[in-house]
Amino acid sequence: MRTLNKWTCSFVAVLFTALGWAQPANDACTSAILLTAGTSCSTTGTTQNGSVTGEPTACNSNWTQTVWYYFQATSTSMDIQLQLTGLLGGGSGYFPDRWGMAVYNAGTNSTPAAACPTITNASMVSGSCINTNTVGSGDGVMVAYLTGLTLNNYYYIQVGYRTGNGSQIPQFCINRFNPANATMHDCSSCSSPCGASCGFGSNPCSSSGCTTAQINAITASCTQFSAAPAFEGGTNASQCWTFTAEGTSGGINEIIYSNCSGGNVSNFSWSLQTSACGSTVASGDLTDMTTFDNYTLTIGQS
């Protein structure tokens, strides 16, 4: 009985050690995961226990672990977004500037087995080497806005992280967007509006602001708009919405949800234009959203 216990414990110890050092399925370029384009993120990953042996180092020679993804360019412009979803390990935190990505052009080689041997430092796409502090600071989001891609070529995404100093390892969701379907690239002017705003006959919130119950009621009845790719910290973006005046005066409310750690919108401005991209008739900012600067609306005017 003592011998059985001894060998059982030894086997369990070896098994746990093996599991603890398991590498990601896409640790090597030749095992890269295919990314399909879409507006929602369905592919998750982590660099934990990845390796860097024999990989290109043009983006960051200090990365200690990487994983790989690839896609075929269906447009000359594509957006690649990584968003932090969690942290692994027992450290005190992660270092945003250590977590980044790079994209490499593999030409017409359609399989990882054929493509990866051709990828070198010189294959890196210009402007694709970024980290989560490239735009914003520690916001947990990084987006590579790729332009000048060769239609139908295959491109490989290297996601890397440098461990050390007790750092935790990022878990993430990775997604790619065709700019034609990405809200960051359209509805920024009255000539291409995002859609109709939600109208109320009177202010649905109290003068001191919206309660949680009021916000839930408003968002349940109004069309919600998700930024895709996500806005990074410090990003400026514009959208245009339409409405038809039902009275001679009014105001605007915008309910904004942020998934940035501790962040939200810090600067906001608005302008009011008549239909057919007419001139600006009123404007304001975060401190002035309840009236249209005493501008008298025309009932029935868009």
Give 1's pLDDT tier (boundaries 50, 70, 90).
Answer: very low
* Strands 78-88, 130-131: pairing kind: unpaired
Amino acid 293: pLDDT: 64
Of 51 and 194, more confident = 51
Residue 271: alpha-carbon gap to chain centroid: 27
Regarding whether 155 and 62 lie in a shared domain, the answer is yes
Residue 208 within any structural domain of the chain: yes
Regarding whether 258 and 191 lie in a shared domain, the answer is yes
Domain count of the chain? 2
Of 257 and 18, more confident = 257
Distances (CA, A) of 39 to 96, 101, 175, 184, 224: 25, 20, 8, 11, 14
Q: Which of 181, 197, 216 is where one domain is finished?
A: 181
- For residue 251, is pLDDT > 60? yes
Residue 302 within any structural domain of the chain: yes
Q: Domain of 231?
A: 187-302
- For residue 44, is pLDDT > 50? yes
Amino acid 289: pLDDT: 67
- For residue 15, is pLDDT > 70? no
Regarding whether 282 and 161 lie in a shared domain, the answer is no
Q: Which of 181, 203, 220 is where one domain is finished?
A: 181
Backbone phi, psi, residue 82, to 5°: -115, 135
Regarding whether 210 and 162 lie in a shared domain, the answer is no
User: In the chain, what percentage of residues exceed pLDDT 70?
Assistant: 85
Identify the residue whose tokens are 């009014």. 250
> For residue 171, what is the domain's CATH number?
2.60.120
Amino acid 107: pLDDT: 97
Query: What are 113-170's pLDDT values in tens digits?
Result: 999 999 999 999 999 999 999 988 878 889 999 999 999 999 999 999 999 887 899 9
